A = this chain, B = another copy of it.
Amino acid sequence: MKKKIKVGVIGATGMIGQNYLRLLSGHPWFEVVFLAASPRSAGKKYADAVAGRWHMDEAIPAQYRDIVVEDASNVSGTVGRCRLVFSAVEMDKKAIMALEEEYADRGFAVVSNNSAHRHTADVPVMVPEINHDHLAIIPQQRRQRGWKEGLLVVKPNCSIQSYMLPLYALVKAGCRVDAIIVATLQAVSGAGYPGPASIDMIDNTVPYIPGEEEKSEVEPAKILGRVEGGRIVPDKSIKISAHCNRVAVSDGHTAFCSIRF
């Protein structure tokens, strides 16, 4: 790639933001031009802002260490520096929704890791290999919200990512899937930091992850849906029953899917 795409990361100091930076470091397509986080971190060098709470196995990539962190809520300060932001902000749901919308309103393409907007009717939940055509909603999204250049898309829940592709491959191949039953064994990293207390996970599995089974049962329908009338209409023809467990594993989710035709 001759010229890299400039991006900002908002919520860059949390565990998900750290993972974004780990993955963006040396990425062939993207060049990080600003990092933003909460007022607590704003004004500090990134290495200082995450001192004592850097959770990746690898060291902080050198290129980010001395970048002075911006205040994510000061959207004006970042306008013009790039067109794309990855959102990993960790706040309450309403605040996330408002902040992501503000970035989109100011012209940014916002790609969010948060679940906040996954249920918003005109925000597509993207698994590009499956529903890239959902991007057709963007002109309508802009019109409905009065955004000129900005846009907002989100990614799905981590545990469904593993099985959506093979499920889609079956659907695409003509199989009429009636229902899927999923049992997951999910790593603690999925809960962010600090996540589950060690005393709850040592010599144990936890058969409950708040909201996870609901997300697993709703999001696939949206991903498999279609754009119609300015919204994503979910395809509810596949029934999903999910049983989500937390296990004492640091990274990597396992999912067992039984598919009924």
A residues at B contact (CB < 8 Å): 55, 181, 183, 185, 188-189, 193-205, 207, 241, 243, 245, 247-250, 254, 256, 258, 260
Nearest chain B CB to A211 CB, angstrom units = 16
Known contacts A185-B247, A247-B247; is-contact A197 B195 (Cβ 8 Å): yes
Assembled-state Cα–Cα distance A197/B246 (Å): 14
Nearest chain B CB to A234 CB, angstrom units = 22
Are A197 and B199 touching (Cβ within 8 A)? no
Are A183 and B243 touching (Cβ within 8 A)? yes
Nearest chain B CB to A4 CB, angstrom units = 30
The one of B189, B198, B205, B258 that contacts A241, using a Cβ cutoff of 8 Å:
B258
Are A202 and B249 touching (Cβ within 8 A)? yes
**A200 contact set on B, CB distance < 8 A:** 194, 198
Are B258 and A205 touching (Cβ within 8 A)? no
The one of B195, B203, B245 that contacts A185, using a Cβ cutoff of 8 Å:
B245
**A203 contact set on B, CB distance < 8 A:** 202-203, 248-250
Chain B residue at minimal CB-CB distance from A203? B203
**A241 contact set on B, CB distance < 8 A:** 258
Closest 10 A-B residue pairs measured CB to CB? A183-B183, A194-B197, A203-B203, A198-B201, A198-B198, A181-B258, A243-B256, A188-B198, A196-B198, A183-B256
Are B198 and A254 touching (Cβ within 8 A)? no
Nearest chain B CB to A246 CB, angstrom units = 9
Chain B residue at minimal CB-CB distance from A181? B258
Assembled-state Cα–Cα distance A110/B254 (Å): 41
Assembled-state Cα–Cα distance A174/B202 (Å): 41
**A202 contact set on B, CB distance < 8 A:** 188, 198, 201-203, 248-250
Assembled-state Cα–Cα distance A207/B257 (Å): 13
Chain B residue at minimal CB-CB distance from A255? B183
Chain B residue at minimal CB-CB distance from A241? B258
**A247 contact set on B, CB distance < 8 A:** 185, 205, 247-248
